Amino acid sequence: DGGITQSPKYLFRKEGQNVTLSCEQNLNHDAMYWYRQDPGQGLRLIYYSQIVNDFQKGDIAEGYSVSREKKESFPLTVTSAQKNPTAFYLCASSVQGLSAFFGQGTRLTVV
Amino acid sequence: KQEVTQIPAALSVPEGENLVLNCSFTDSAIYNLQWFRQDPGKGLTSLLLIQSSQREQTSGRLNASLDKSSGRSTLYIAASQPGDSATYLCAVEVNYGQNFVFGPGTRLSVLP
């Protein structure tokens, strides 16, 4: 089945630690996105990528980094510089003219 | 900067009612508009996509309309069922592959 897979579903981070969230898609979509969702708020864009080896900052990129070495993969690293990383993270992909597909999300908690 | 709002923030209706969810956006220069459903703790599921040149889309009991000039979209749900209970989000795509701007969502509860 085609879709987007995010892993892990739950992730715990200690203070000062970097963690990486995985996002893989087998839909052959060019564009991929990372969003953050906080309770009571809409989704906010962290980073997006339109093609391999290229990505752009979204509205809240500080404290995050990404890479796009393969079309299928768009991992997100939450660095120690992100002071309030506890949130629900959603990865998405799209192709021109069609609906966006979302993964099932990763819930990150700082312990 | 594009902003998206949704009214109401929450809605509770008895089973069988027809209902309308509203979405407004500030900049009419959009590529498309999508309605999504989100169940608690889950990702988003696309319900309907309306291209900027279209006026409406239908899927089963769902009908979405788009009025670009006034910056509005509505999602009509006919004969609501308890399984429709979820948060409904609308999002506008500013340009392909660049950004979806999301509204805060409408939390719908359909009571048996």
pLDDT digits (tens, 9 = 90+) for A83-100: 899 999 999 999 877 788
Return the pLDDT at B97. 60
Q: Which of B96, B108, B110 is nearest to B22 (CA)?
A: B108
Nearest chain B residue to A41, by CA: B104
Q: What is the Rg, in whole angstroms, of the alpha carbon atoms belonging to chain B? A: 13
| Over residues B91-97, mean pLDDT | 79
d(CA A36, CA A62): 12
Q: What is the mean pLDDT of residues B1-27?
A: 95
Phi, psi of B84 (to 5 degrees): -80, -10
The predicted-structure confidence for A17-58, as pLDDT tens digits, reads as follows 999 999 999 999 999 999 999 987 789 999 999 999 999 999
Asked if B44 reaches chain A (Cβ–Cβ under 8 Å), the answer is: yes
pLDDT at B102 over 70: yes
What count of CB pairs under 8 Å joins A to B? 64
Six token digits for residue B22: 């509203």
Q: At A60, is the pLDDT very low, low, confident or very high (cuts 50, 70, 90)?
A: very high
In the predicted structure, residue B75 carries a pLDDT above the cut 80: yes
pLDDT digits (tens, 9 = 90+) for B52-63: 999 999 999 999
> What DSSP string runs through B51-85?
ETT-SEEEETTEEEEEETTTTEEEEEE-S--GGG-
Contact A98 B49 (CB under 8 A): yes
Portion of chain B with pLDDT greater than 70, in percent: 97
Greatest Cα pair distance in chain A: 42
Mean pLDDT of A67-84: 95
pLDDT at B64 over 90: yes
